[in-house]
Amino acid sequence: MRKSWVQEIDDEQLDLLIEKVRREHAVDFRGYKYASLSRRIKRRLNTIKCPDMEGYLQYLDSEPGEYAKLVDSILINVTDFFRDAEAWNALRQKVIPRILERKSPGDRIRVWCAGCASGEEAYTFAMLLLKELGNDVFDHEIRVYATDIDEDALTTARFGKYSNEKVKSIPDDLLRKYFTHNSDWIVNRDLRKIVIFGHHNLITAPAISHVDLIICRNVLIYMSPGLQYRVLTKFHFSLEQDGFLFLGRAESLFKASCLFHAVDERWRIFEKAAVTDRLHPFISPVTSSTQ
């Protein structure tokens, strides 16, 4: 592997860049772990052969289109259909039936897939839910709100077109039922009509409220402990009573363990705990425009 020749980035330079991106491109990375940010920024500098941060800050001034490329480099998220298949199986067995048993005909089922990237996890859940519902699918208004800050990833998700390599982890019965094949695999109408993609800044935008399940996998791991707590508090506010939270395999509740209790500790599935409203002083009960 070729070694990076980019100079180390100090905290002061990183603060300058974060503020510049926030001001000029309306993306706020304050509260993200500096080590993760530095690593991804250095990768971007290496790609464009810029040796140091001083030169890169000047480059941003002369090339405004670089902001979007930098943000994409920082936000890049490896995702797949049924990533960590055992985790999705645990969700199918331990969460989906409990959500459905609480619902009567006509009740809404609302799920928020936060940090959805290019849509694979949102579509994964939608397939599992529709399979579990079977002939009862028409008894409910189903909405899977899939949000991300990366517009390019959202474009891919909305288009719903995936390569043979991308869909190889989808079970054959689900692939045949919910995709059509040309040169690539295209998500069919049954999935498209229940998954709604929208731009949403998880840190600064109001929460999507009254959801039965939040899927947010491999997003919190890049945030500082303080920001993790803020986001988890927002999630607690968003969930219905006895709602569920599904995190990534390497993530935990950090300082917010009082807000949830474990359904499956190994696969990071949690249920909302009852707490007092005083834990939510900064969360506004505003309905997101994604709804």
272 close to 241: Cβ distance less than 8 angstroms: yes
C-alpha distances (whole Å) from 142 to each of 10, 23, 269, 286 are 47, 37, 21, 21
Instruction: Locate 254 and state its tokens.
Output: 């950090």
Enumerate domains of the chain plus CATH numbers: 11-75 (no CATH), 85-279 (3.40.50.150)
19: alpha, beta or left? (left if phi > 0; alpha if psi -120 to 50): alpha
As a whole number of angstroms, the distance between CA 130 and CA 137 comes to: 6
Partners of 197 in the β-ladder: 146
Give residue 233's identity as a one-letter amino acid code.
T
User: Given this model, what pLDDT does residue 35 score?
Assistant: 85
Q: What is the bridge-based pairing of β-strands 141-148 and 195-199?
A: parallel
Give helix 53-62 / helix 66-75 axis angle, nearest 10°.
130
As a whole number of angstroms, the distance between CA 65 and CA 63 comes to: 5
User: Given this model, what pLDDT does residue 194 score?
Assistant: 96
User: Given this model, what pLDDT does residue 173 score?
Assistant: 96
Distance of CA 230 to the CA centre of its chain: 16
Instruction: Locate 48 and state its tokens.
Output: 């464009």
Q: How far apart are the first and last CA of the chain?
A: 45
The answer for residues whose C-beta is within 8 angstroms of residue 222's C-beta and 6 or more apart is: 32, 33, 36
User: Given this model, what pLDDT does residue 26 score?
Assistant: 65
As a whole number of angstroms, the distance between CA 117 and CA 149 comes to: 8
User: Given this model, what pLDDT does residue 30 score?
Assistant: 80
Torsion of Cα atoms, 237 then 239 then 244 then 250, to 10°:
-40
Q: The whole model's pTM is what? A: 0.81
Tens digit of each residue's pLDDT, the chain (291 residues): 345 556 788 888 889 998 988 888 767 788 777 888 888 899 898 888 988 888 999 999 898 888 888 887 887 667 899 999 999 999 999 999 999 999 999 999 999 999 999 999 999 999 999 999 998 878 899 999 999 988 889 999 999 999 999 999 999 999 999 999 989 999 999 999 999 999 998 888 899 999 999 999 988 888 888 888 999 999 999 999 999 999 998 888 878 889 999 999 999 999 999 876 545 544 433 333 344
98 close to 144: Cβ distance less than 8 angstroms: no
